[in-house]
């Protein structure tokens, strides 16, 4: 599991552990990973630090995991960065950073794991996207673009994996009460450093994790988890003009 050191990733790790899974916890912050490992029970969780922007290092990490456990049943692609800045005020370097972590890093790790899953003939790839993977939102242009890209890639991959024994589940969180906005990048790449109101009022991470694991267990292709904001997916599909107007008035920063 990537992005396992905090927020949604930590909550998912704890819920997987509660249900008896053996885990691989990955992120860049080793100290935070070890804290999550201790909460899961050290014998139940292996820490393998990962930097998703270093694609060349990923195959070795996969081999290390396989040497320890012998197999992989579920890959959870959760690591990512968010954004809180107007498109015009966001440097291209920040746009690229968001795509590198959220999209290219996720794809690179998936490609490193995929041959082993195909050889097993079973397994599931889980991708934590966002509701803004289904529709754009102000102050999140590059973030939304990276999440839209995930849907395009993994919808295509799912179709290619038909009859292989492998499945793909895309999970789209709404507002979940984590530090995602605190760590979100602003236009020059600096973290926002504050919690936005919508996130602060969002669903508890533990509640999200329970919903997410149920979706994975049921083999869902795609699921939306959150509060009323999840209705945006339906509104965008059925009344795109009305949705566009509502979006201009939404307090999303």
Measuring CA to CA, which residue among 251, 201, 190 is closest to residue 226?
A: 201
Q: How far apart are CA 179 and CA 194, in angstroms?
A: 8
Residue that is written with structure tokens 């290619």 in the block: 160
Determine the Cα–Cα distance for residues 72 and 81; give it in Å rounded to an integer: 25
Residues noted as catalytic: 143
Alpha-carbon distance of 206 to 51, in angstroms, equals: 25
Q: Which residues touch 35 (CB under 8 Å, ≥6 apart)?
A: 5
CA pair distance 83, 189, nearest whole angstrom:
9
Q: Note the Cα 95 to chain centre separation in Å.
A: 18
Token code pair at residue 230: 């999840």
> DSSP per residue over 63-118, as a string?
HHHHHHHS--SEEEE-----B-B-GGGS-HHHHHHHHIIIIIIHHHHHHHHHHHHH
Distance, in Å, from the CA atom of 23 to the CA atom of 43, rounded to the nearest integer, reads 9
Q: What sign does the CA torsion over 200, 102, 123, 67 have?
A: negative
Strands 45-47 and 23-25: parallel
């Amino acid at each position: 599991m990537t992005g396992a050191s905090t927020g949604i990733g930590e909550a998912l790790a704890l819920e997987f552990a509660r249900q008896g899974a053996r885990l691989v916890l990955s992120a860049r912050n080793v100290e935070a990973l070890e804290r999550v490992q201790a909460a899961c029970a050290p014998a139940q969780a292996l820490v393998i630090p990962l930097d998703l922007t270093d694609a060349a290092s990923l195959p070795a990490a996969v081999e290390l995991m396989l040497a320890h456990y012998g197999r992989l049943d579920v890959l959870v692609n959760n690591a990512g960065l968010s954004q809180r800045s107007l498109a015009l005020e966001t440097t291209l370097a920040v746009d690229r950073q968001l795509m590198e972590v959220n999209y290219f890093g996720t794809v690179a790790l998936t490609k490193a794991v995929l041959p082993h899953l195909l050889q097993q003939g079973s397994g599931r790839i889980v991708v934590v996207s966002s509701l803004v993977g289904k529709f754009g939102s102000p102050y999140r242009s590059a973030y939304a673009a990276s999440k839209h890209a995930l849907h395009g890639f993994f919808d295509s991959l799912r179709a290619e994996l038909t009859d292989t024994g492998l499945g793909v589940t895309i999970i789209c969180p709404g507002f979940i009460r984590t530090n995602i906005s605190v760590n979100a990048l602003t236009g020059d790449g600096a973290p926002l450093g504050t919690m936005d109101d919508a996130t602060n009022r969002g669903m508890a991470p533990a509640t999200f994790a329970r919903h997410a694991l149920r979706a994975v267990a049921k083999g869902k292709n795609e699921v939306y988890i959150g509060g009323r904001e999840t209705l945006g997916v339906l509104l965008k599909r059925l009344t795109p003009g009305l949705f566009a107007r509502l979006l201009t008035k939404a307090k999303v920063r």
